[in-house]
Amino acid sequence: MARRYQPREFEAKWQQAWQERGQYRTEDELTKPKFYCLDFFPYPSGAGLSVGHAKNYVPTDVYSRFKRMNGYNVLHPMGWDAFGLPAENEAIQRQVPPRVSTARNTANYKRQMNMMGLSYDWSREINSSDPEYYRWTQWFFLLLHRRGLAYRAPGSQWWCPVCKTILANEQVVNGFCWRHGDTPVQKKELEQWYFKITDYADQLLDDLDSIEWPAHIVAMQRNWIGRSEGAEVTFRVAGSGQPVVVFTTRPDTLFGATFIVLSPEHPLVDQVSTPQHRAAVQAYQEQARLASEIERLSTEREKTGVFTGAYAINPVNGEQLPIWIADYVLMGYGTGAIMAVPAHDQRDFEFARRFDLPIKLVYQDDAAPQDAGTMTQAMLHRGHVVNSGQFNGLADGPQAVDAFITWLEEQGTGKRRVNYRIRDWLISRQRYWGAPIPIVYCDRDGIVPVPEEQLPVLLPEIADYEPSGTGRSPLANLPEFVNTTCPACGGPARRETDTIDGFGCSSWYFLRYPNPHDTVAPFDRQLIDYWLPVDTYVGGAEHAVMHLLYARFWTKVMADAGLVNFREPFARLRNQGVIYGSDGHRMSKSRGNVVTPDEVIETYGADALRCFELFMGPFEMDNFWDEDGPKGQFRFLHRVWELAGSHPAGGGGDSPAVLRLLHQTIQDVTERIEDFRFNTVVSKLHELLNALERQGCSGDTVDTLLLLLAPIAPHLTEELWSERHPGEGSIHSRSWPVCDPALLVADTCPLVIQVNGKVRDTLQTSRDLTRDDAEALARASERVQRFLDGHAVQKVIFVPNKLLNLVVS
């Protein structure tokens, strides 16, 4: 075997052989231990895959291969998130119908994935824009509808003027469209379908404790759900007695309220404003309406607001508080009205100072007494209650809050209340490229769900699919689609023409892979019970709220409907880091800094690409692409090739040192793959190779090295294995090497000798040396003596088989 390592001579050959013999087809052997390793399914972009995508797919492929070799029945599938805004926007931009571009792009993705040697079971490939798939997306819509979790409501919602559709709150980022970072969203009034995710807010929060997810993703979900506990308190408008209900998390500061603030959109504003203030109020409302979301959200901005002329009566002490309106109070949260306690809330404090409103302390800190007239910021969570009647003296804390709420409830002027930041999920899209919402409107029967047996509601193939901007989907222009008969009465009726948000498709796809071609149900219960939940789920952190929150929500709905026996779909989540171009920017076609797997494979082969993707840094860390990086991995693989060539299979007779290193490597590599520390897995294999080249080894040891390398470099190892073990089948069907702990123990070990914590010598000593023997050896060392000279040893620190530290004066 004098051939040099030329990956292009055999990589494609093995890819084809694996495909033909179904090497990675997953069988439903329900008695074997299972492992479900899933990648976020991508939307197939026309730009194809970059080396950045491989940072996700290579590690999960290595992990899946590792799990297979360890005896697991592994489900490692791939599919296409083909419906939705990203795919459709790109199709419009390129002037290719989305059905056509999707087919073209998925074929390209699949080609690239195969070229990287990814071991997906392609017999389970799914595509969310396939009627056989979206039929069941529609089915889940009906399930949610049946369970009272899908409803239609009018409302002023976020509209992207470029996408020409309404967006979910989650899809609005700092006031901009999630697909267009430079396009401010606008409000538009439309009738829309919502999913009642708010019903599940507490569960979505509580169950975060039961899953193994990155801390920052968990934190983002908590933050998005935004639970806060407090009370609703009813004030009365002086004169009319109209109720003004406010939400507060600090009912314990009620006596300190000095004014009330309504959101400019609050319905009471028109009713309470007095004639002499009306003009100013309306001007302010108009100004607030025109202000962009970005302007309103800015915390830098100085507080603005106007007085309505009206007063409200504080239920705890009868004081009359002026009612103001200000845009720092949001209509969408709580009740859209607040009681302002400037002494103990920073925003209220700033507002009070700006408009010269009174500040009243109801907590005081004896250690650092505050003065309402001179304080420069609100006093938060300190001291004890003052100026509050029977509550005076209570220490700041939950007990004080409870005491106030109990009292409010007794008086009938307030009640305990939990508020959430999360809103219901708006799923209507005025767009073509999605699953039609399976609803029919009938003059007689109203809103009628399409019966299950009539699914799918097919998305018609049309020439003019571009969004019109009228607030209606292009489907509305198709009489043959719109006009139908009412499933209830058989009379004439109209179809809903909006489509389901693409995130609906991705909220259940992980349930489809176990039985992807099921024609009678979305999934097979027995297979779901075996395969789910997903054991390891891997993808980018950009889905921290949207997809991951929605998928958790649907799973809980299904669990409540008795369809599945688990409440969390993804037991363990990992986020791979981002690979930036060598220019430091995100890879993008417009910047021209995209590196494709194709070009790297062309030069160095798929295995070198795979090694470098793993080696370049910790799995979850961001990194810059180094075009020379794969070169080093190519050299490594080349040396493995040479070593195998000079050490045919068989042998034995390795030195204890070689066996020790080999088994230490087995142990380390096994642990580290399990921990997703792939960069050090590759290093460990480098180190092993370096040592084997220097110290010599048997063919058996080379075989073990190949087995350890098999998940990482599947082509090279397959090629070498087939030559070394003809007729014995694929290396990828072999078992993972097992570490023999007995071989890890050495007769001698290096003992580090320190003087005052500084290393002065390293002695090769026999194992399990006693403290006294070690000290004697250390004192005998000339290098050590130099530093002991003239000093008395005061203390000796001894760590057996490792270290001796002599502490001198």
Partner RNA sequence: CCCGGGAUGGCGGAACGGCAGACGCCGCGGACUUAAAAUCCGCUGCCCGCAAGGGCGUGGGGGUUCGAAUCCCCCUCCCGGGACCA
Please identify which residue in the block is written with the tokens 């995130």.
503
Nearer to RNA, 135 or 760 (CB): 760
> Does residue number 8 form part of the binding site for RNA (CB under 7 A)?
no
> Does residue number 797 form part of the binding site for RNA (CB under 7 A)?
yes
Nearer to RNA, 79 or 629 (CB): 629
Nearer to RNA, 726 or 757 (CB): 757
Nearer to RNA, 307 or 636 (CB): 636
Q: In angstroms, what is the minimal distance from the CB of 350 to RNA?
A: 7
The 12-51 contact track toward RNA, x by CB under 7 A, reads ----------------------------------------
Q: In angstroms, what is the minimal distance from the CB of 309 to RNA?
A: 21
Question: Looking at 22, 33, 71, 226, which residue binds RNA (CB under 7 A)?
Answer: 226
The DSSP letter of residue 328 is T
| Cβ-contact 682, 614 below 8 angstroms | yes
Strands 748-755 and 803-808: what pairing?
parallel
Strands 483-485 and 492-495: what pairing?
antiparallel
Please identify which residue in the block is written with the tokens 């901007």.
469
- Cα 582 → chain centroid: 26
Query: What residues contact residue 685 under an 8 Å CB cut-off, 6+ apart?
Result: 636, 665, 669, 705, 708, 709, 712
Nearer to RNA, 591 or 786 (CB): 786
- Cα 164 → chain centroid: 27
For 259, half-sphere exposure in the C-beta direction (CA atoms, 13 angstrom radius) is 28
Nearer to RNA, 32 or 354 (CB): 354
> Does residue number 628 form part of the binding site for RNA (CB under 7 A)?
yes
Q: In angstroms, what is the minimal distance from the CB of 793 to RNA?
A: 11
687, two tokens: 């180190």
What does each C-alpha distance from 673 to 70, 268, 688, 736 come to in angstroms? Answer: 12, 61, 16, 12
Nearer to RNA, 295 or 772 (CB): 295
Nearer to RNA, 350 or 560 (CB): 350
**Maximum distance among all alpha carbons in the chain?**
109
Nearer to RNA, 108 or 603 (CB): 603
Per CB under 7 A, contacts with RNA among 488-527 are none
Nearer to RNA, 412 or 757 (CB): 757
> Does residue number 616 form part of the binding site for RNA (CB under 7 A)?
yes
Q: In angstroms, what is the minimal distance from the CB of 616 to RNA?
A: 5
The DSSP letter of residue 140 is H
3-state secondary structure 192-228: EEEECHHHHHHHHHHHHHHCECCHHHHHHHHHHHCCE
Secondary structure (DSSP) of 417-450: EEE-S---EE-EE--SSSEEP-EEEETTTEEEEP
Question: Looking at 2, 215, 742, 792, which residue binds RNA (CB under 7 A)?
Answer: 215
773, two tokens: 């023997």
Question: Looking at 109, 328, 509, 570, which residue binds RNA (CB under 7 A)?
Answer: 328
Gap between the Cα atoms of 513 and 259, Å rounded: 58
- Cα 178 → chain centroid: 16
> Does residue number 354 form part of the binding site for RNA (CB under 7 A)?
no
> Does residue number 631 form part of the binding site for RNA (CB under 7 A)?
yes
Question: Looking at 333, 407, 441, 566, which residue binds RNA (CB under 7 A)?
Answer: 333
The 665-704 contact track toward RNA, x by CB under 7 A, reads ------------x-xx-xx--xx--x--x-----------
Nearer to RNA, 174 or 565 (CB): 174
Q: In angstroms, what is the minimal distance from the CB of 691 to RNA?
A: 9
Q: In angstroms, what is the minimal distance from the CB of 228 to RNA?
A: 3
Nearer to RNA, 383 or 629 (CB): 629
Question: Looking at 636, 676, 721, 736, which residue binds RNA (CB under 7 A)?
Answer: 636
> Does residue number 419 form part of the binding site for RNA (CB under 7 A)?
yes
Nearer to RNA, 374 or 764 (CB): 764
Q: In angstroms, what is the minimal distance from the CB of 685 to RNA?
A: 8
Gap between the Cα atoms of 555 and 208, Å rounded: 14
| Cβ-contact 423, 192 below 8 angstroms | no
Question: Looking at 16, 174, 406, 411, which residue binds RNA (CB under 7 A)?
Answer: 174
- β-pair partners for 749: 765
Per CB under 7 A, contacts with RNA among 530-569 are 541, 544
Nearer to RNA, 226 or 656 (CB): 226
Q: In angstroms, what is the minimal distance from the CB of 33 to RNA?
A: 28
- Interior/surface letters 96-128, b for 16+ CB within 10 angstroms, e for the rest: ebbeebbbebbebbbebbbbbbbbbbbebbbbb
> Does residue number 805 form part of the binding site for RNA (CB under 7 A)?
yes
Question: Looking at 46, 97, 487, 632, which residue binds RNA (CB under 7 A)?
Answer: 632
Nearer to RNA, 284 or 465 (CB): 284
Gap between the Cα atoms of 243 and 337, Å rounded: 11
Gap between the Cα atoms of 7 and 15, Å rounded: 12
The 134-173 contact track toward RNA, x by CB under 7 A, reads ---------------------------------------x
Q: Of the candidates 168, 126, 46, which has an alpha carbon nearest to the alpha carbon of residue 511?
A: 126
Nearer to RNA, 75 or 257 (CB): 257
Per CB under 7 A, contacts with RNA among 638-657 are 638-639
390, two tokens: 């029977």
Q: In angstroms, what is the minimal distance from the CB of 29 to RNA?
A: 36
Per CB under 7 A, contacts with RNA among 284-303 are 296-299, 301, 303
> Does residue number 622 form part of the binding site for RNA (CB under 7 A)?
yes
Q: In angstroms, what is the minimal distance from the CB of 623 to RNA?
A: 5
Q: In angstroms, what is the minimal distance from the CB of 67 to RNA?
A: 22
Give me the phi and psi of 653, to 5 degrees please: 80, 25
396, two tokens: 């700041």
| Cβ-contact 536, 38 below 8 angstroms | yes
| Cβ-contact 616, 595 below 8 angstroms | no
Gap between the Cα atoms of 562 and 542, Å rounded: 31
Per CB under 7 A, contacts with RNA among 738-777 are 750, 752, 754, 756-760, 762
Nearer to RNA, 27 or 356 (CB): 356
Tell me the number of residues near RNA by CB under 7 A.
Answer: 85
382, two tokens: 């300190």
> Does residue number 783 form part of the binding site for RNA (CB under 7 A)?
yes
> Does residue number 416 form part of the binding site for RNA (CB under 7 A)?
no
Nearer to RNA, 336 or 711 (CB): 336
Question: Looking at 196, 421, 525, 567, which residue binds RNA (CB under 7 A)?
Answer: 421
> Does residue number 799 form part of the binding site for RNA (CB under 7 A)?
yes
Per CB under 7 A, contacts with RNA among 426-465 are none
Q: Which stretch binds RNA (CB under 7 A): 159-167, 242-250, 403-411, 472-480?
A: 242-250
Gap between the Cα atoms of 545 and 218, Å rounded: 9
Q: Of the candidates 514, 575, 551, 529, which has an alpha carbon nearest to the alpha carbon of residue 212?
A: 575
Question: Looking at 42, 44, 84, 334, which residue binds RNA (CB under 7 A)?
Answer: 334
User: Could you tell me where the beta strands, DSSP code E, fall in 420-541?
Assistant: 425-426, 428-429, 435-436, 439-442, 446-449, 483-485, 492-495, 499-500, 534-539
> Does residue number 802 form part of the binding site for RNA (CB under 7 A)?
yes
